[in-house]
Structure 1
Amino acid sequence: MNNLTQNIIVGSKSHVARSLTLALLMLASANANARVTDAEAARLGKELTPIGAERAGNADGTIPEWTGGLPQRKTPRGDNPHATDKPLYAITAANLAQHEAHLSEGYKALFKTFPDYRMPVYPSRRSASYPQWFYEATQRNATAVSLTGDGFGFCCAAKGYPFPIPKSGTEVMWNHIMRYNTKGYRGFLDSAATAADGAYVVERDYVELSYAYNNIKSTVDSLRGMNLYAFTKTVSPPNKAGEAHLLHVPIDRIKDQTGVWVYSNSIGRARRIGEVGYDNPLFDGLMTHDQLDMFNGPLDRYTIKLVGKKDMIIPYNSYKLYDPTIKYKDIVTKGHINQDLARYELHRVWIIEAEVRPGFAHRYKRRTFYLDEDSWIVHVQDIYDERDQFWRTAESHSIAFANVPVVVNGVQVHYDLQSRRYVIINMTNEERKLIEYDWEADPGYFTPSGLKRFATTSQK
């Protein structure tokens, strides 16, 4: 099963102590599901940006005012709008103490684990921007959308961030899950899971994905509860190639079932399979299913708490990690990625704590998510094991595209501090073509019969 399939496939419901847990959850959800007032919503596009971030910079001027984000323009592949920026400073083990207040526990652990680890910190560039229709939809959602029942779904929106002025941690996480990635995309994405000695094999996947939600043409009625449709397949290495998957993914993945079909050459037909997800392991155990995309849900196994906001150093505008002149051997190095190619900036983030609910199980007992206020993307994640001991950390190296007004979380690095190994996903440097954004197809394209065609057609 390829990593893109695993990104979208979600798990089946747990029934352990479910009745009591859900009863308590529904009570908590009702208390947290306060509506945004008209006066609060009127702040969007004024002192708040159109998607709910604070427009102003911070008090000491180290985070600038948001002035509209990266201007839309035609650019060649590999264009870096901030190429002339120089690092303000680099954090190393020697000066770590001076910067700990702005670092996650995961970054502190990386410095302690790898003496050569460093973080180049650049000027903060608030480059996030989105289409005007998306801003308008988000504005409407502010007073119209609310969590449904137990918080595992929401009503009623077809596009835009559902909760631009969130009242709970659950609403914040929904903004990440339902964020704008254009109408869809297709292309090749590459990943590499490292061994302790730094060795790795590149896995190459091809995906065609079309969003029902966040399509300008969509309405609540036309969605029919669906989020997206996708075909995915692994192309190489040979021992992983040969299977293709079709996915029909609903918004509420607890109430509605995710449709998953698989095609293999040995069978010669598409067949429907059961769902997998949650803490099922990926990449030689370096990740879990729900850790892909930093977090892809569902939300039912965790109690989710909104801690607040804070200025934090996170990956941002990491254009070098997408540069087609840079090869994978220059990125994927022993212990951690080549930090000379990474870029970190100071940004305001939402901090969310998630802890496994009583009666439910997950190998990650506790997780802390750090979401960028300008994109609602989880940029950093800290992970604790079943003994509540720090275990893993993950980071998302986002970039903004000038050709298409969107921010993508793209390259993600997931570190296991105990084994000193990591996996990096969604690389495109060595691909002949960049991912094609704003690609779309009708739901009727994504059928079990279409899966065979997709699986047996060679993409270039």
Structure 2
Amino acid sequence: MRDARFEFRSATALVALCAYLVAPLLQAKVPAAEAQRLDKELTPIGAERAGSADGVIPAWSGGLPQRDMPRGDNPFAADKPLYTITAQNLQQYAPLLSEGYKALFKTFPDYKMIVYPTRRSASYPQWFYDATRANATKVELTNQGYGFCCAAQGYPFPIPGNGTEVMWNHIMRYNTKGYKGFVNVAATAADGSYVVERNYLELTYVYNNVKSTVDSLKGMNLYALVKTISPPNKAGEANLLHVPIDRIKDQTGVWVYNNSIGRSRRIGEVGYDNPLFDGLMTHDQLDMFNGPLDRYTIKLVGKKEMLIPYNSYRLYDPKLKYKDILQKGHINQDLARYERHRVWVIEAEVRAGYAHRYKKRTFYLDEDSWIVHLQDMYDERDQFWRTAESHSITFANVPVVINGVQVHYDLQSRRYVAINLTNEERKLIEYDWEMDPSYFSPATLKRFATTSQK
């Protein structure tokens, strides 16, 4: 792994000015000779092909082969647990655990983690691998790292040299051309009770659409429509989003439909640390992190082996009810699956002159998917506050790795929110759905908000 070539360090206005002055010198693209590593010791998206020294992490063999995958299918259902971590044997496995997991064990005496064999299941279409390989020699950061140029598909930085590039890989990863369907959110109380919020969404990606070009992107990443179906006190709330790639240079478009007046109106940016889901999350925690990057320094710490949620197919089982998953204090850990994987570790701290309710955050990104699987958050007093985990799975029929069920824990209040639950839905999200960007207009928002979806 190369040394970090660029970090935001703006403890004073002078340092911030220096960072601005050196920005034109940023060179994210790598020489052709180095890019050839993607055909040798690295996978097509930049992970290490070799397994771990002790053999616990196997060598990469291409991920799950593409095949039909009926709902409820678990390709690793026959796997047996290797061991279970409890409060009693926690210290034995502490080097493999995030601070968030250690805090969960300390907070909840019944918390446990069931560890299974490591399966490097992440897989993507060949054209996406090809696009990622091409990006290695041509993509570079722009606007002090708040954007990048010269790519329309693929991970922009398969051989990253700094933390900013690593975070861009998570934000711009492949999620198919788009999707539509219902997802559910459950915000819990300290006593274990919860309220389920059902939402319907339609989303189209411009970046990572195989038909897109750098010119046709027009600087955009995605378009989305989101509507709350229930509970009754929230039903009918609807939003339209136009999300650019560089959210500092280009303004994010946000429209809201007002039921009382029957009109759509544009509002300001609602990202960053605006509260979400009963205040248990911030807006930039959606998708584990969705940016922008301007309020934090971004430091690449390195890579390490850790236990992270992986191949948690049981949490998507349509035979389960939400009451089977949601328990007091934490989700039902009998349904969660943990494996040892190599992760990129990123430390983010609030820049001088900026504000965010999370003074410090640590991100852990899986090397085989670039997904943020874990995140630890600290408050303004430098006290540990919250942790979040992503229980990803690979849909081999697409193929794509989805950052689906996520659990965001508030250790201070002993509450959590679980998002993207689909177990009780009649059908799964429809992937590779797309609409022309012109569809995502304020006029469409009104029709979207007032039309019943099934």
TM-score band w.r.t. shorter chain? over 0.9
> Does the 8 Å contact 1:310/1:351 carry over to 2?
yes
| Cα distance in 1 between the residues matched to 2:12 and 2:228 | 36
> Which residue of 435, 441, 445 corresponds with 1:441?
435
3-state DSSP class of the match of 1:127? coil
Q: Is the 8 A contact 2:391 2:405 kept in 1?
A: yes
TM-score (structure 2 length as normaliser): 0.96
Structure 2: segments with no counterpart, 5+ residues: 1-9
Q: Return the match for 1:169 from 156, 163, 166.
A: 163
CA separation of 1:364 and 1:29: change in aligned 2, threshold 3 A: farther
- Residue 315 (structure 1) aligns with: 309
Q: Is the 8 A contact 2:204 2:433 kept in 1?
A: yes
Describe the shift of the 1:133–1:82 C-alpha distance in structure 2 as closer, same or farther (beyond 3 A): same
1:7 matched to which residue of 2? none
| Rounded Cα–Cα distance in structure 2 between residues aligned with 1:19 and 1:203 | 44
AA matched with 1:117 = Y
Contact 1:398–1:411 at 8 Å: present in 2 too? yes
Q: 1:138 to 1:239 in 2, by over 3 A?
A: same
Match for residue 454 of structure 1? 448
Moved more, 21-30 or 313-322: 21-30
Q: Residue 113 of structure 1 aligns with which residue?
A: 107
1:176 match: secondary structure: helix
Superposition map of 1:359-438 within 5 A:
359-438=353-432
Q: Which residue of 1 aligns with 2:73?
A: 79
Equivalent residue of 1:221, what SS? helix
The corresponding residue for 1:267 is 261
State yes or no: 1:134 paired with 2:128. yes
The aligned counterpart of 2:320 is 326
Matching residue within 284, 287, 290 for 1:293: 287
Q: Which among 235, 244, 252 is matched to residue 246 of structure 2? A: 252
Say whether the 8 Å CA contact 1:21–1:358 is kept in structure 2.
no
What SS does structure 2 have at the residue aligned with 1:144?
Answer: coil
Contact 1:229 1:446 in 2 (8 A): yes
Distance across 2 between alignment mates of 1:445 and 1:324:
32
Structure 1 distance, partners of 2:44, 2:131, is: 10
Q: CA deviation at 1:245?
A: 1.0
The runs of at least 4 aligned residues of structure 1 exceeding 6 Å deviation read 16-19
Structure 2: how far apart are the matches of 1:78 and 1:27? Answer: 53
385-394 or 171-180, which deviates more: 385-394
Taking a change above 3 Å as real, the CA distance of residues 268 and 34 of structure 1, as seen in their structure-2 partners, is closer
Q: What is the aligned partner in structure 2 of residue 10 from structure 1? A: none
Given that residues 26 and 151 in structure 1 are in contact (C-alpha distance below 8 angstroms), is that contact kept between their aligned partners in structure 2? no
**Secondary structure in structure 2 of the residue aligned to 1:218:** coil
For residues 290-321 of structure 1, what are the alpha-carbon distances to aligned partners after superposition, in whole Å with 9 as ceiling and x for unaligned? 11111110000000000000000000000010
Amino acid paired to 1:348:
R
Pick from 236, 239, 246: which aligns with 1:242?
Answer: 236
Is 1:104 the counterpart of 2:98? The answer is yes
Please show how residues 6-45 of structure 1 align to structure 2 within 5 Å.
20=14, 22-27=16-21, 29=23, 33-45=27-39
What CA distance in whole angstroms lies between the structure 1 residues aligned with 2:12 and 2:203? 33
Counterparts of 2:420 and 2:22 in 1: how far apart (Å)?
37
Q: Could you tell me how far apart the structure 2 residues matched to 1:409 and 1:277 are?
A: 19
